[in-house]
Amino acid sequence: MATDGGPPIDAEALEASRLARQAELESRTSRRERNRLGQYATPARLAREIVEFALSQCSPGRPISFLDPALGTGAFYAALLGCARSGRIASAVGFEIDAAYAATAKVLWKGTPLKVCHRDFTRERAPGAGERATVLLCNPPYVRHHHLGTSDKARLRRLSAERAHIRLSGLAGLYCHFMAIAHGWMEPDCIAGWLVPSEFMEVNYGCALKEYLLSRTTLLRIHRFDPNEVQFDDALVSSAVVCFLNRRPSPEHLVQCSYGGTLRHPAMSQAIRVADLAPTEKWTRLPMSRAAVAQEGYRLGDLFSIRRGLATGANDFFILDEAKASALELPRRFLRPVLPSARFIREDEIDADTNGVPRLSRRLFLIDCDLPADELRRVEPVLWSYLRRGLADVAARHLCRSRRVWYLQERRPAAPIVCTYIGRSDHEGRPFRFLLNHSQATATNAYLMMYPTALLARRLARSPEALRAAWRQLNAIGRDTLLASGRVYGGGMHKLEPRELASVPADALARAVGLPPKRALEPLEPARVAARKARRATSFKFRSTSR
């Protein structure tokens, strides 16, 4: 392409040169250094798809004033040069905090419209109306909140509130602040394309950002990549592309929500009315979220009180296998059976011997003693001589230090059902397993422990066999329903928090254990009717079907 009046620009040759310099820069910096500034380059193919999508959404005659607030070597600018019609780029600005990257970009883009500013974008004053961007594309630095200094964080939060009225919590990462701060850099109807971690879609700190996207912008597209296909080789975050116009939306506006595949060819896509999207919902459920429709019946939380298993503070020290515990002659009364990791449990049903110890190849015991040290030394010298080995190291660990007696364990009676709540989705198997536990073994925080609530306990008292029916139903819950209820990390790792598992619809389970329909059970009082209506209002309704 050629810029107005200038010599022709060979976009392809420039991109080849950029990629070579990018690789050279990366080879010179350690992974740790790149982490500090969130330097994860956008793959060229992805940058091109984002640019193509963005350009397809702007009016063709509008001149492009381009802005990349976190330029790097200029992946988006390179793609823009390759896609935009000759002469359409009226101006282009890129900010880059890192001297080496900024210097490289200056050399690379000399003779093109791009002005490279070696500065911290978050400290720049936004330009006046008429000088702002019409196309803003950015892969902002992925820097987690705990790597932001206290005063910097306060400054960023203040700025985000000033520029976009987004009240970000202290847990928000730098990328959220970038999105908020960039608001003041956009002309009306500016198209923005952000490549960001999808985390904001499902965690509390993301609600403020979602609120902004729904109320202050016309959200065009949310595409979430399949976390099993990590976009950046070296950053284990699952990524999303968020595209919007700087214009308030009409309630009937349709947002294209897509998932998997590529931005150009997503595996799934649905258009959802903006009025049907709520900032409090997990957007990572989109677009496949049938599980999110209004659910008036039972949820698992009505039938089970769900708690994470116990955190011992030092599994290697407090948990011993049977052979070691007997070789040390530790007193039996202070040893509680504890479940081993789920990979040692082949069947989903755990049988027990007459002492309540699981019949498993790996039999483990937790030292669970509530005697104070003085007494222990006197009455159980053998156990004391083992525990005192941990005085220098284990007792000093944060969790142990916070206990009344450093080796005292939390109360977690054996639960009749436990759930493995961290799992992968990139294989055919189930990411989460529900185990029926007939033993007296407690469990560590590698499990969620599911204790029947009073409602279910009453039912089980009358018909104990209903527990088995409940367990079968748990394992029959659709894999997508469970995945949609939890959260996902890069690399396809899924996790279900107790509250998330408790929110899973459970009408089928309730029926299987013989409970009457929930509405027949308890008439709705006015407050609950209102809550139901509100839930209905914030639930997702799907307009079009997936491709």
Ligand X SMILES: C[S@@+](CC[C@H](N)C(=O)[O-])C[C@H]1O[C@@H](n2cnc3c(N)ncnc32)[C@H](O)[C@@H]1O
Tokens representing residue 66 in the block: 């381009």
Residue 22 or residue 439: which is nearer to ligand X going by CB?
22
Cα 170 to Cα 40, 144, 153, 154, 321: the distances in Å are 23, 10, 7, 8, 42
CB 303 within 8 A of CB 508: no
**Which listed range, 68-76, 149-157, 269-277, 343-351, lies at the site for ligand X (CB under 6 A)?**
68-76
Give the nearest distance from C-beta 138 to ligand X in angstroms: 7
CB 415 within 8 A of CB 449: yes
Query: In whole angstroms, what is the distance from residue 367 CA to residue 325 CA?
Result: 9
Query: In whole angstroms, what is the distance from residue 174 CA to residue 138 CA?
Result: 13
Give the nearest distance from C-beta 228 to ligand X in angstroms: 21
Query: Is 444 an interacting residue with respect to ligand X (CB under 6 A)?
Result: no
Query: In whole angstroms, what is the distance from residue 53 CA to residue 171 CA?
Result: 31
Contacts of 451 (CB under 8 A, 6+ apart): 304, 305, 306, 307, 413, 415, 416
Query: Is 266 an interacting residue with respect to ligand X (CB under 6 A)?
Result: no
Tokens representing residue 257 in the block: 């929500």
Return the bridge partners of 488, or none.
Answer: 494
**Which listed range, 35-43, 54-62, 308-316, 382-390, lies at the site for ligand X (CB under 6 A)?**
35-43
Query: Is 37 an interacting residue with respect to ligand X (CB under 6 A)?
Result: yes
Query: In whole angstroms, what is the distance from residue 538 CA to residue 207 CA?
Result: 14
Query: Is 173 an interacting residue with respect to ligand X (CB under 6 A)?
Result: no
Nearest residue (beta carbon) to ligand X: 72
Query: In whole angstroms, what is the distance from residue 146 CA to residue 173 CA?
Result: 8
Query: In whole angstroms, what is the distance from residue 306 CA to residue 297 CA?
Result: 18
In this chain, which of 11, 14, 15, 42 binds ligand X, going by CB under 6 A? Answer: 42
Query: Is 49 an interacting residue with respect to ligand X (CB under 6 A)?
Result: no
Query: In whole angstroms, what is the distance from residue 407 CA to residue 452 CA?
Result: 29
In this chain, which of 11, 67, 70, 506 binds ligand X, going by CB under 6 A? Answer: 70
Query: Is 97 an interacting residue with respect to ligand X (CB under 6 A)?
Result: yes
Residue 98 or residue 199: which is nearer to ligand X going by CB?
98
Query: Is 284 an interacting residue with respect to ligand X (CB under 6 A)?
Result: no
What are the respective helix, strand and coil percentages of the chain, to the nearest 5? 40, 20, 40
Query: Is 101 an interacting residue with respect to ligand X (CB under 6 A)?
Result: yes
Give the nearest distance from C-beta 68 to ligand X in angstroms: 6
Query: Is 121 an interacting residue with respect to ligand X (CB under 6 A)?
Result: yes
Query: Is 95 an interacting residue with respect to ligand X (CB under 6 A)?
Result: yes
Q: Side chain identity at 406, as an amino acid letter?
A: W
Residue 183: alpha-carbon gap to chain centroid? 24
**Which listed range, 36-44, 215-223, 452-460, 539-547, lies at the site for ligand X (CB under 6 A)?**
36-44
Query: Is 93 an interacting residue with respect to ligand X (CB under 6 A)?
Result: no
Contacts of 350 (CB under 8 A, 6+ apart): 339, 358, 359, 360, 435, 436, 437, 438, 439, 441
CB 96 within 8 A of CB 71: yes
Give the nearest distance from C-beta 70 to ligand X in angstroms: 3
Task: Identify the three-state secondary structure at position 172.
Answer: coil
Query: Is 104 an interacting residue with respect to ligand X (CB under 6 A)?
Result: no
Using CB under 6 A as the criterion, what x/- string covers residues 127-146 for binding ligand X?
------------x-x-----
Give the nearest distance from C-beta 234 to ligand X in angstroms: 11
Residue 48 or residue 224: which is nearer to ligand X going by CB?
48
In this chain, which of 38, 249, 287, 337 binds ligand X, going by CB under 6 A? Answer: 38
Q: Side chain identity at 44, as an amino acid letter?
A: A
Query: In whole angstroms, what is the distance from residue 479 CA to residue 494 CA?
Result: 11
Query: Is 82 an interacting residue with respect to ligand X (CB under 6 A)?
Result: no
Residue 138 or residue 483: which is nearer to ligand X going by CB?
138
Residue 92 or residue 303: which is nearer to ligand X going by CB?
92
Contacts of 457 (CB under 8 A, 6+ apart): none
- Of 21, 90, 95, residue with least CA distance to 61: 90
Query: Is 15 an interacting residue with respect to ligand X (CB under 6 A)?
Result: no
Tokens representing residue 104 in the block: 């490289």
Give the nearest distance from C-beta 117 to ligand X in angstroms: 9
Query: Is 122 an interacting residue with respect to ligand X (CB under 6 A)?
Result: yes
**Which listed range, 93-101, 244-252, 378-386, 526-534, lies at the site for ligand X (CB under 6 A)?**
93-101
Query: In whole angstroms, what is the distance from residue 94 CA to residue 182 CA?
Result: 12
Residue 44 or residue 161: which is nearer to ligand X going by CB?
44
**Which listed range, 64-72, 211-219, 221-229, 304-312, lies at the site for ligand X (CB under 6 A)?**
64-72
* Length of the chain as a residue count: 547
Show the 3-state SS of 471-540: HHHHHHCCHHHHHHHCEEEHHHEEECCHHHHHCCECHHHHHHCCCCCHHHHCCCCHHHHHHHHHHHHCCC
Residue 96 or residue 187: which is nearer to ligand X going by CB?
96
Residue 77 or residue 407: which is nearer to ligand X going by CB?
77
Tokens representing residue 52 in the block: 């193509």
Strands 218-224 vs 254-261: parallel, antiparallel or unpaired: parallel
Query: Is 321 an interacting residue with respect to ligand X (CB under 6 A)?
Result: no
Site residue total, ligand X (CB under 6 A): 22
In this chain, which of 11, 53, 54, 68 binds ligand X, going by CB under 6 A? Answer: 68
Give the nearest distance from C-beta 263 to ligand X in angstroms: 14
Give the nearest distance from C-beta 155 to ligand X in angstroms: 11
Query: Is 409 an interacting residue with respect to ligand X (CB under 6 A)?
Result: no
Query: Is 160 an interacting residue with respect to ligand X (CB under 6 A)?
Result: no
- Of 453, 478, 454, 456, residue with least CA distance to 467: 456
Query: Is 66 an interacting residue with respect to ligand X (CB under 6 A)?
Result: no
Residue 40 or residue 540: which is nearer to ligand X going by CB?
40
Chain residues that interact with ligand X, rule: CB under 6 A? 37-42, 68, 70-72, 75-76, 95-98, 101, 120-122, 139, 141
